[in-house]
């Protein structure tokens, strides 16, 4: 399943065609200097689509990386006009990123109007942050008014490398406490406790936390006040300072690139050595803090440009973590190489209780996976035919003989109204059911008459009447309990005939072909019960060309699933595997 992954920055666009299952990218292109070389994002998308190799590839959809999803988006989301507006609205929280993301989405939707477009948010993975980690200590009203809280970023990467780490460790992610260190130009740490992000170092914006290429990360807000006063910095000046002039670049005075800094530090450049030290120290500090947050740690993962490539930085960050049960193997660390084919390398010793791992991140794969998931769900809903539900209240089928015993000699059933299955009708006639304990009055008779009497009641009715009736297919009344019926002209005691009708689906043979089932198959049907969703097992399929597609539930079943007449069910499983297994 191929997904076009689009990652739009303010002046650049990265696009790739990714197999959502393997993560392999078939073709990719990067377009830079939007606004100079190409006029705008629309033109950039067109360029990208021209240069991407799409021969023989069927694109199933487009996954857009969107940086800020705010409170509104906690999972990948199918894009419509309203979603685009919401993402644009969130530009207030991410002025450097969301406007470009929106431009990209608009251009791609215009160029590829027939494909499903899905937004995959950087923030979504962290929507599980608990309140204690989410809130800044500022007045609550102000925070609420402006949506000021910690959101976290790099979600696709943290989610992706955590999952790869769990696979590598042959463990369920729900059993692991992972500290994920994404160290690229932007850098963040996440505490992933049993599969859920519970802490992360970036906050309202991607500026908080670690030292980054050009971003400061954590800084005393008082320092900004001081600088504003002493240097006369205005807001744009502070923005520029913290986002573009700080971090490794600011500390080293020469470069935002870790490779340059390592090189110069090795040559003795004091500022570059300090840059390295500050970077590594802050990372260690976060690792220790997040181990405390989770009450321990089972794996520490290093990823992205620096995490995957800098043995020095990993060594600095991960040495002397014995107190956490993490022992670095210096040789393994030095030799660690990861790539798309070998995405995980272990750099801890065999005796290390906590695994230290280098994992190759693949954000495009994470985005493609997220988009593919949404698209498959959507297709399922679009193409899966639903089955209308009918709810059978208690009712009675009678022989002509019984009709005459109850309603008088020569009496014919009179139709009150037709019911959904052709030829059948609800009758004017009603009878009372007299059980050992109590009586139920006025139970509707269904016509036409049948070769045997059959009284279909619910489990609740049984308790009320004081009897036990078996669950049976319609028509199968052998050895079921009897009951006394009272009509206006007589009373009739039956020796058998009371059943709970087995739930079933009436199908035309065309329906059966569509669902891939046969007469007498047993299937599972899911119903959306508004808070009481249920999957009904043991649903019998009955196929006849006179039938209209409909599933019959009794009142107890319908009430248990909180559904009403006219709602719909979805066929989720056929019983075929079960029967095959039994045969073997």
Which CB sits closer to ligand ADP, 302 or 407?
302
Beta carbon of residue 125, minimum distance to ligand ADP (angstroms, whole number): 17
Which CB sits closer to ligand ADP, 262 or 554?
262
Q: Phi and psi at residue 117, in whole multiples of 5°?
A: -110, 135
Please give the Cα distance from 137 to 149 (Å, whole number).
9
Beta carbon of residue 291, minimum distance to ligand ADP (angstroms, whole number): 24
Number of neighbouring beta carbons within 10 Å of residue 486: 15
Which phi-psi region, left, alpha or beta, contains residue 35 (left: φ > 0; alpha: ψ -120 to 50)? left
The secondary structure of residue 34, as a DSSP letter, is B
Active site residue 339: no
Which CB sits closer to ligand ADP, 189 or 501?
189
Which CB sits closer to ligand ADP, 150 or 249?
249
Q: Which residue carries 């790739």 as its tokens?
A: 16
Kindly name the residue from 19, 55, 80, 122 that is annotated as catalytic: 122
Please give the Cα distance from 189 to 202 (Å, whole number).
8
Beta carbon of residue 122, minimum distance to ligand ADP (angstroms, whole number): 12
Which CB sits closer to ligand ADP, 226 or 259?
259
Task: Extract the tokens encoding 137.
Answer: 């200590």
Q: Phi and psi at residue 173, in whole multiples of 5°?
A: -60, -25
Beta carbon of residue 364, minimum distance to ligand ADP (angstroms, whole number): 11
Please give the Cα distance from 516 to 514 (Å, whole number).
6
Please give the Cα distance from 287 to 463 (Å, whole number).
61
Task: Extract the tokens encoding 557.
Answer: 């079943």
Q: How far is CA 478 from CA 200, 451, 469, 524, 582, in A?
A: 66, 13, 11, 27, 26
Torsion 459-461-466-469 (CA) sign: negative
Beta carbon of residue 304, minimum distance to ligand ADP (angstroms, whole number): 4
Residue number with the smallest Cβ distance to ligand ADP? 305
Beta carbon of residue 179, minimum distance to ligand ADP (angstroms, whole number): 18
Beta carbon of residue 98, minimum distance to ligand ADP (angstroms, whole number): 18
Q: Phi and psi at residue 407, in whole multiples of 5°?
A: -115, 0
Which CB sits closer to ligand ADP, 30 or 259?
259
Can you list the positions of beta strands (E) in 9-163?
Answer: 13-19, 25-31, 59-66, 77-78, 116-121
* Whether the Cβ atoms of residue 347 and residue 338 lie closer than 8 Å to each other: no
Which CB sits closer to ligand ADP, 103 or 262?
262
* Whether the Cβ atoms of residue 555 and residue 460 lie closer than 8 Å to each other: yes
Please give the Cα distance from 307 to 182 (Å, whole number).
7
Q: Can you give the binding site for ligand ADP, defined by CB under 6 A?
A: 184-186, 213, 257-259, 262, 304-306, 309-310
Enumerate the active-site residues. 122
């Amino acid at each position: 399943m191929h997904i076009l992954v689009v990652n739009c920055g303010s002046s650049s666009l990265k696009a790739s065609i990714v197999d959502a299952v393997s993560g392999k990218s078939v073709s990719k292109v990067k377009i830079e200097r939007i606004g100079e070389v190409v006029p705008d994002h629309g033109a950039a998308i067109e360029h990208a689509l021209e240069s991407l190799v799409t021969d023989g590839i069927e694109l199933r959809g487009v996954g857009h990386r969107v940086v800020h999803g705010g409170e509104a988006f906690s999972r990948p989301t199918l894009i419509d006009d309203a979603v685009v507006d919401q993402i644009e609205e969130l530009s207030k929280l991410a002025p450097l990123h969301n406007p470009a993301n929106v431009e990209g989405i608009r251009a791609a939707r215009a160029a590829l109007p027939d494909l499903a477009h899905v937004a995959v948010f950087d923030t979504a993975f962290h929507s599980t942050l608990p309140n204690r980690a989410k809130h800044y200590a500022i007045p609550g009203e102000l925070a609420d008014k402006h949506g000021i809280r910690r959101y976290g970023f790099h979600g696709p990467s943290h989610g992706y490398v955590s999952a790869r780490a769990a696979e590598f460790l042959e463990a369920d992610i729900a059993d692991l406490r992972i500290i994920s260190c994404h160290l690229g130009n932007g850098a963040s740490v996440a505490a992933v406790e049993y599969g859920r992000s519970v802490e992360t170092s970036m906050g309202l914006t991607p500026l908080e936390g670690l030292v980054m290429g050009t971003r400061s990360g954590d800084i005393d807000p008082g320092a900004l006040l001081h600088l504003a006063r002493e240097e006369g910095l205005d807001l744009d000046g502070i923005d520029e300072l913290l986002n573009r002039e700080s971090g490794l670049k600011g500390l080293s005075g020469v470069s935002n690139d870790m490779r340059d800094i390592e090189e110069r530090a090795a040559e003795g450049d004091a500022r570059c050595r300090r840059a390295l030290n500050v970077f590594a120290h802050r990372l260690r500090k976060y690792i220790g803090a997040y181990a405390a947050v989770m009450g321990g740690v089972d794996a520490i993962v290093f990823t992205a440009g620096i995490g995957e490539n800098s043995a020095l930085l990993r060594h600095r960050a991960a040495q002397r973590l014995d107190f956490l049960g993490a022992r670095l193997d210096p040789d393994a660390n030095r030799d660690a190489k990861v790539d798309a084919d070998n995405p995980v390398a272990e750099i801890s010793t065999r005796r290390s209780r906590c695994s230290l791992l280098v994992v190759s991140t693949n954000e495009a794969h994470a985005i493609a996976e997220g988009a593919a998931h949404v698209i498959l769900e959507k297709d399922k809903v679009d193409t899966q035919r639903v089955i209308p539900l009918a709810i059978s209240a208690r009712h009675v089928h009678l022989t002509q003989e019984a009709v005459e015993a109850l309603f008088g000699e020569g009496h014919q059933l009179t139709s009150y109204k037709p019911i959904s299955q052709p030829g059948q009708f609800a009758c004017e006639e009603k009878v009372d059911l007299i059980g050992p304990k109590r009586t139920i009055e006025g139970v509707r008779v269904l016509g036409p008459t049948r070769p045997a009497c059959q009284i279909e009641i619910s489990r609740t009715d049984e308790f009320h009447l004081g009897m036990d009736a078996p669950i049976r297919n319609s028509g199968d009344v052998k050895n079921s309990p009897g009951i006394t019926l009272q009509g206006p002209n007589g009373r009739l005691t039956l020796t058998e005939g009371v059943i709970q009708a087995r739930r079933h689906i009436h199908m035309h043979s065309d329906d059966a072909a569509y669902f891939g089932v046969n007469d007498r198959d047993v299937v599972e049907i899911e119903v959306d019960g508004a808070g009481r969703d249920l999957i009904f097992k043991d649903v019998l399929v009955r196929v006849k060309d006179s039938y209209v597609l409909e599933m019959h539930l009794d009142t107890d079943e319908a009430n248990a699933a909180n559904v009403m007449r006219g709602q719909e069910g979805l066929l989720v499983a056929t019983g075929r595997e079960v029967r095959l297994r039994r045969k073997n």
